[in-house]
């Protein structure tokens, strides 16, 4: 099986030993507490699940700046996006060097992790903006990732953490949320060697389905892991339970049995385009995938990134040998009226736009909200029904 990133074995920060776990829970109640923001809590969940291997905790100022500027930590580890714990106010913890991190996304703010505080540093606005500019390639406050990052605060707490639970992800999505440890174990149990990962934050329409099928066939893959983001998105995106239902129905009806794992991970979307695509590759390698599908405008939003920037970064900026996972570069896929099937548009040079069934996201949402199913060449009817039900429920809310 493919090795994790940066180490020979996966080293999740979740405390699996029952005795140690119980000991930490008791200790946490005696420690000064910091209420995390959602971004820092999501980082803790990813560290706990082994997705951010080999990191042991939150980065300090020097590492955060180094990663933003050069995609490497000070020690030389390849890493594409700073993994930080920023806060607006650290006064409550005083000079404590061991603290409890509390979950902002669960009622009662239970302890999510225990942290050894190695440094508390103030980042000037210029450095925060530099990090944002390098990661998001813009400082436009209308960019949802920029807006979120620059609102987190200017006090940076760094140090290793021990994670005690997986926030709301394990309880709200018991059939879907999986750690990198669990996915890696299931891949091994299934005997899969070549494994394709597909990232999604949306329901999968027909073109996504066929893209996964193309990748599996062309790579000779043993299996596919559909890996959906379960954390916070921007306003207007389809909620995770609806996406989950759509994807499961599609897999149940249209893929061979036992060829697909439907899973999810607990992270908030960054909308960082190319940099986030590389982060996606890192943690898919950690979960055991050998290939990641990267399509047009992967992890993008609006018009901030070129259509294929998220593919080009792997050729232009990721050093050779930095990652073992390979990228399956995909073009926009759509139903060809000429051929009667879904094709990659670059592989149909004799086609004009009129030869494809192309619907904008806005148009599809309008149709669904009006109870009109998109054509079956665009969306499987069973998936369209789930989406229509959701939009009707929203209209009546």
Active site residue 201: yes
Kindly state the percentage of the chain with pLDDT values over 70: 99
Q: Are 106 and 198 part of one and the same domain?
A: no
Q: What is the CATH number for 111? A: 3.10.400.10
Of the three residues 105, 138, 170, the one that is the final residue of a domain is 170
Of 154, 170, 186, which one is at a domain's C-terminal end? 170
Beta bridge partners of 196: 224, 291
Whether 2 maps to a domain, the answer reads no
- Within-domain flag for 76: yes
- The structural domain count of the chain equals 2
**Which entry of 98, 185, 194, 202 is annotated as an active-site residue?**
202
**9 inside domain:** no
Domain-embedded: residue 336: yes
Whether 37 is catalytic = no
Tell me what pLDDT residue 228 has: 95
Report pLDDT digits (tens) over 150-197. 999 999 999 999 999 999 999 999 999 999 999 999 999 999 999 999
The DSSP-derived string for 275-294 is: HHHHHHHHHHHHTT-SEEEE
Asked if residue 392 has pLDDT above 90, the reply is no
Same domain, residue pair 130 and 235: no
| 89 and 126 fall within a common domain | yes
Q: Is 78 helix (H, G, I), strand (E, B) or coil?
A: strand
Which residue among 201, 213, 365, 392 is the active-site one? 201
Q: Where are the alpha helices (DSSP H) in 18-168?
A: 18-28, 38-48, 61-70, 125-136, 144-149
From CA 179, how far away is CA 184, in angstroms rounded?
Answer: 9
DSSP 181-234: HHHHHHHHHHT-SSEEEEEESS---HHHHHHHHHHHHHHT-SEEEEEEE-S---
Based on the domain organization, do 232 and 112 belong to the same domain? no
Instruction: Name the β-bridge partners of 102.
Output: 35, 111
CA 316 – CA 71 distance, rounded (Å): 12
Query: Looking at the domain assignment, is residue 151 inside a domain?
Result: yes
CATH number of the domain to which 327 belongs: 3.40.50.620
pLDDT, the chain, mean: 95
Write down the pLDDT at residue 396. 65
Residue-range definition of the domain harbouring residue 166: 18-170
Same domain for 39 and 181, yes or no, is no
The per-residue pLDDT for range 244-302, each reduced to its tens digit, is 999 999 999 999 999 999 999 999 999 999 999 999 999 999 999 999 999 989 999 99
Identify whether residues 249 and 154 lie together within a single domain.
no
Residues 249 and 271 in one domain: yes
Q: Which of 144, 170, 196 lies at the terminal end of a domain, its last residue?
A: 170
Q: What is the pTM of this model?
A: 0.95
């Amino acid at each position: 099986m493919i090795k994790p990133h940066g180490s020979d074995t996966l080293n999740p920060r979740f405390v699996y030993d029952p005795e140690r776990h119980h000991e930490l829970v008791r200790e946490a109640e005696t420690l000064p507490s910091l209420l995390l923001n959602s971004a820092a809590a999501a980082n803790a969940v990813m560290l706990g699940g082994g997705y951010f291997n080999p990191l042991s905790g939150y980065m300090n100022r020097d590492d955060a700046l180094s990663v933003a500027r050069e995609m490497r930590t000070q020690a030389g580890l390849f890493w594409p996006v700073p993994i930080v714990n920023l806060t607006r106010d650290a006064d409550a913890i005083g000079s404590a060097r061991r603290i409890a991190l509390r979950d902002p996304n669960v009622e009662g703010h239970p302890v999510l992790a225990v942290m050894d505080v190695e440094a508390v540093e103030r980042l000037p606005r210029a450095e925060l903006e530099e990090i944002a500019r390098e990661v998001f390639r813009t400082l436009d406050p209308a960019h949802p990732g920029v807006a979120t990052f620059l609102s987190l605060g200017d006090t940076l707490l760094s140090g290793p953490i021990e994670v005690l639970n997986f926030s709301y992800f394990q309880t709200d999505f018991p059939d879907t949320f999986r750690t990198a440890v669990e996915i890696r174990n299931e891949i091994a149990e299934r005997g899969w060697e070549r494994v394709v990962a597909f990232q999604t934050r949306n329901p999968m329409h027909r073109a996504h389905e066929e893209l996964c099928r193309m990748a599996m066939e062309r790579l000779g893959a043993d299996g596919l892991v559909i890996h959906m983001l379960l954390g916070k998105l921007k306003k207007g995106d389809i909620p995770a339970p609806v996406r989950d239902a759509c994807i499961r129905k599609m897999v149940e009806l249209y893929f061979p049995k036992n060829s697909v794992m439907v899973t999810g991970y607990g992270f908030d979307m960054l909308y960082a385009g190319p940099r986030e695509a590389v982060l996606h590759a890192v943690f898919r390698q950690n979960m055991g995938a050998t290939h990641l599908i990267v399509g047009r405008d992967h992890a993008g939003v609006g018009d901030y990134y070129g259509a294929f920037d998220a593919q080009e970064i792997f050729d232009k900026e990721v050093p050779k040998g930095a990652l073992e996972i390979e990228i399956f570069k995909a073009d926009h896929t759509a139903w060809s009226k000429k051929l009667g099937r879904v094709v990659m548009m670059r592989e149909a040079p004799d086609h004009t736009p009129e030869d494809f069934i192309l619907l904008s996201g806005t148009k599809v949402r309008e149709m669904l909200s009006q109870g009109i199913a998109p054509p079956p060449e665009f969306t499987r009817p069973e998936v369209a029904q789930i989406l229509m039900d959701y939009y009707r429920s929203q209209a009546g809310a």
